[in-house]
Amino acid sequence: MKKRMLILEDGTTFEGYAFGSDEASVGETVFTTGMTGYQETISNPSNCGQIIVMTYPLIGAYGINRDDFESIDSSMNGIVVRELEDAPSNFRNDMTLGEWLVQKNIPGIEGVDTRKLTRLLREKGPLKGKLTAANEEIQNVDAEVEAVKNTELPTDLVAQVSTKRPYPSPGRGKRVVVIDYGMKHGILRELNKRNCDVIVVPYNTTSEEIISLFPDGIVLTNGPGNPAHVEDAVETIQSLVGKAPIFGIGLGHQLLALSQGAEVVQLPSGHRGSNIPVKDLKTGRTELTAQNHGYAVDQKSIEKTTLKVTHIALNDDSIEGLECTKEPIFSVQFYPEAAPGPEDANHLFDRFMDLMNAQNRKEQNNA
């Protein structure tokens, strides 16, 4: 088998075996805790530019199928697994994980002690890493570490994964404009289930262009990276508040909070997985959620805004949901559409529908 190495910016190295593409790759190395759902994870645009460490020890057991993608192409930079299954057994299997990675030109490494690697990332947070090319012989590891440390990771991640042109997903119900910061297809599926007439627009679409589409509601989607790198989006959202009900998800939740005067901080190691408990402060109910983020809204910054906290993460008490006390807008940090993971929070799409119906009734009464 071809050898491969993962080199981290702190000087730690892991040796293993290559699968997928033979190319070298550099990215932010993070871990995810889901026991299943690797296909949805590796096709999630929120993982743009990242090297994903799978904490579950066996990956690839059910292969890759046509139905479970969350985007058409993967934008991750690599995958790290303890053991790769290259003879999957599942009635939906169309190809192996390794074959799919070759198609997408994405490198993988197996045979790595992912428990040790995960503990390291929990202690130090995300680290820049390099997956070497297959059979590349490293003559000077120190020089490679220094090169990784000095690598400037891109900040235009949202621009990379957002749609370049608007497109419709027609329905006969409410007109919903979806601002695509790196949308998972699951969001579109849930809106389609509710017969919404959806128009997906690029991340840099102006507020005037969005309002000209006569939306009954606006969805701010998930996406990759630091929300501070999407400055124009904050001003756009500010202009949209009060024009229609708004539902923010993932990065969209963070951008909505920034637009209302809150602040965002980086988490020590992020929340990535399909099994993270969140408490709904209104109902007292705990829901298991799917998440994928390295930033969170700062608790203290909420005090100076018209926002109030609706959900918290039970693992670390970080903010997982917000709503505005003056406008019909709300947001959650987690994925209510799951994909992968439990669908406990799916009802939030119904809440969004209720907000749009209530807003329509209000406008009719005022007419």
Return the closest-CA partner of residue 97 out of 134, 130, 58, 129.
58
Predicted confidence (pLDDT) per residue in 67-112, tens digit: 999 999 999 999 999 999 999 999 999 999 999 999 999 999 999 9
Span 151-171, pLDDT tens digits? 999 999 999 999 999 999 999
Q: Which regions of the chain carry the CATH code 3.50.30.20?
A: 3-153
- Delimit the CATH 3.40.50.880 region(s) of the chain: 158-366
Those residues whose C-beta lies under 8 Å from the C-beta of residue 284, and which sit 6 or more positions away, are none
Question: What is d(CA 227, CA 295) in angstroms, rounded to the nearest whole number?
Answer: 8
Q: 254 pLDDT band (50/70/90 cuts)?
A: very high
Residue 65 and residue 100: Cα distance in Å, rounded?
10
The residues, ordered by sequence, that sit 6+ positions from 72 with a Cβ below 8 Å of its Cβ are none
Instruction: Classify domain 3-153 by CATH architecture.
Output: 3-Layer(bba) Sandwich (3.50)
pTM exceeds 0.95 for this model: yes
CATH number for region 158-366 = 3.40.50.880
- Collapsing DSSP to helix, strand or coil, 305 comes out as coil
pLDDT over 80 (residue 367): no
**What pLDDT is attached to residue 95?**
97
What percentage of the chain reaches a pLDDT higher than 90? Answer: 95
Under a CB-based contact definition with an 8 Å cutoff, are residues 198 and 176 in contact? yes
- pLDDT-derived band of residue 147, with 50, 70 and 90 as boundaries? very high
Written as one letter, the residue type at 106 is: I
The dihedral region occupied by 317, where left means phi > 0, alpha psi between -120 and 50, and beta the remainder, is left
Indicate whether 364 pLDDT > 90: no
Q: Is the pLDDT of residue 46 over 80?
A: yes
CA distance 209 to 202: 11
